[in-house]
Amino acid sequence: MSNELTEENAFEWTVKRLTPIDEIVKQFEHDVHKGRLVVESLKEWVAGLDPDSYIRFEPPPELQAEYDEYKDACHEFADKKAVYMRLLERPRKNAHPEDHLDRARAAVEWADAAIRAAKGRLHVLTTYQNVYRTLQSINGHIQQADEAITSGSNAVRAVKEQLECEFLRHPAQCGIHA
């Protein structure tokens, strides 16, 4: 895309200038990668624990607020994903550019919420490792964090796909036939 604004590239030029979407996607990708590393580290940590010698500590009072925060993010990410999925139900054939922008925006919100949920859960897991009742409980929380990261990754992919449709780089994949 040229840096010059022309009649032919006005829409793309405007969208690219108003929304630093490439930067947002790169940050999401970085967060997803970092989250996967933390998950792998936690899996290794749990695998090295002896269930018979694991000692549970009483949760500190500040844990409740952090728990509530990441649970809220988990509910929000489920809601944001549902919004994106509803937008996908709209017919793609002869879709307007705004439809792809709506989907891209919804996917960004889904990615943001999923990554925040994963970060919150991973923060609690790494900060309060000995507040869980069993190793199985720890593994369950690690799995849920991993699922939130995967959902965030899927949302990032959805953002990219919608932007590809928006700028007609691959029109046939978007239900647009030339």
**pLDDT of 148-176, one tens digit each?**
999 999 999 998 888 777 665 555 555 54
**How much is the pTM?**
0.81
* Average confidence score pLDDT of the chain: 85
**pLDDT of 88-107, one tens digit each?**
888 766 677 778 788 888 99
Tokens (6 digits) for 162: 């919608």
Tokens (6 digits) for 18: 């108003």
Give the pLDDT confidence score for residue 171 in this predicted structure: 53
Give the pLDDT confidence score for residue 173 in this predicted structure: 55
Cβ atoms of 70 and 123 within 8 Å: the answer is yes
**pLDDT of 37-64, one tens digit each?**
999 999 999 999 999 999 999 999 999 9
Give the pLDDT confidence score for residue 8 in this predicted structure: 66
Strand (E) or helix (H) holding 133: none
Q: Look up residue 66 and give its amino acid.
A: E
Better-predicted residue by pLDDT, 132 or 20: 132
**CB neighbours (10 Å) of residue 105?**
17
- For residue 96, give every residue at least 6 positions away whose Cβ sits within 8 Å of its Cβ, in sequence order, or none: none
**pLDDT of 116-146, one tens digit each?**
999 999 999 999 999 999 999 999 999 999 9
> Percent of the chain scored above 90 by pLDDT?
63
